[in-house]
Amino acid sequence: MSSPQHGSVGNYDESTVAAALASLSGVGPARLRTLVVSLGAHDAWRTVRGELPARDHIAALLRDGDLGRLWCREATPELLDRTAAALSAGNMRVLLIDDPEYPPVLRNDHAAPAVLFVRGNLAACAARRVGIIGTRSASAAGRHFARRLGTQLAAAGVAVVSGLARGIDAAAHRGVLEPTDTSPPGAPIGVVASGLDVVYPREHSALWHDVATRGVLMSESPPGCKPDAFRFPLRNRLLAALSEVLVVVESRATGGSMITVEEAAKRGVTVMAVPGSPHVATSEGANLLLAQGCAPVCTVDDVLVALGLDHRRAHPQRDPRPTPSAADRRVVDALLARPLTFDDLVASLGERAVDVALSLGRLEASGWVTCTAGWWEALLVA
């Protein structure tokens, strides 16, 4: 028997070969599972390359749409080399479904990924887990709520699962990473759709790094994989599967968050929603969920109670912000119903623009209101 050559499949361990299999075009979670679970990665690789005979359902799979010929062309020793290099460069680990480190909560799921790419520390998955999800185009008030919920859950020792998208997802994890007076930053669990070395959206690269450092970042997409649209619903099923309780902060009536909610319902995961103003389109989905019988989330205690945790010692309920004066209170009240521009605000209050400007300045400094691109919103909780 000749010694293994460079680039030969025998040089690489099972998990690297599985990662290379995941990089083949047209390999989804189901096909990858069929290949890796029923054959093992090495044998699957040889079968795909035509070095071993394919039997039964594998043969049927390879015949499907000429996949066999396509994969045979793609499954080259160079692909193995490339995958191994990308894995070590990106500091990623590959967990097969039978790996002892593979998160047990995922392994028991009916649609568990056969191969999981992980960066960071998987210990977070052993804690109590709450998913916080919502729309990317969230209101400032919604982002503020998500951020605060993330901080408080982390302080209560709960791991927050989220998708690292813009808007609510990012706000929740930023909150988790924020230390409080009494507790260090929490351990976030980030589940992303693209490969772990393809940061999407790009402005979140610092957040990705922080999540991987403090907690864990995971994906079922191999390194170099682009954030294709079809990967997001697949990512959402992992979000649902990893959560014990899923909190929808803000969502439109349709969209990614509602897909996650459906996946959660299939798995019996408790779904909770943050009530919003009927004037605000980004709260439509959350309000719809409440109408369908989801429990509302107004404070972190609601979530802690749903988890069966002791919520009494968790947080003092005092609002640290100074109480606004009567004049300032009028401004906050006007903003509670819906976001307004400075022009609208002056017109509806009927006061001098100077006085309203002074009020807004004071309120913004004390954290009662916030301004996004000319639109003012009131923040109910500190």
Q: Which residues bind other proteins (CB under 8 A)?
A: 136-140, 143, 166-167, 170-171, 201, 203-204, 279-283, 338-344, 346-347, 353-358, 360-361, 364-365, 371-375, 377
Indicate the residue among 113 and 190 with the shorter CB distance to other proteins.
Answer: 190
Indicate the residue among 165 and 241 with the shorter CB distance to other proteins.
Answer: 165
Cβ burial, residue 316 (10 Å; 0-12/13-18/19+): exposed
Q: Cβ of residue 339: shortest distance to other proteins, in angstroms?
A: 5
Indicate the residue among 157 and 374 with the shorter CB distance to other proteins.
Answer: 374
Q: Cβ of residue 303: shortest distance to other proteins, in angstroms?
A: 23
3-state secondary structure (DSSP) of residue 204: helix
Indicate the residue among 291 and 373 with the shorter CB distance to other proteins.
Answer: 373
Q: Cβ of residue 364: shortest distance to other proteins, in angstroms?
A: 8
Q: Cβ of residue 353: shortest distance to other proteins, in angstroms?
A: 6
Indicate the residue among 87 and 160 with the shorter CB distance to other proteins.
Answer: 160
Q: How many angstroms separate the Cα of 15 from the Cα of each of 89, 125, 143, 189, 297?
A: 16, 21, 38, 22, 41
Q: Cβ of residue 258: shortest distance to other proteins, in angstroms?
A: 16
Separation CA 309–CA 301 (nearest Å): 9
User: For residue 216, what is the enclosing H or E element?
Assistant: strand 216-219
Indicate the residue among 149 and 241 with the shorter CB distance to other proteins.
Answer: 149
Separation CA 264–CA 244 (nearest Å): 9
Phi, psi of 314 (to 5 degrees): -60, -50
Q: Cβ of residue 143: shortest distance to other proteins, in angstroms?
A: 7
Which among 165, 160, 132, 163 is positioned nearest to 274, based on CA atoms? Answer: 132
User: For residue 371, what is the enclosing H or E element?
Assistant: strand 369-372
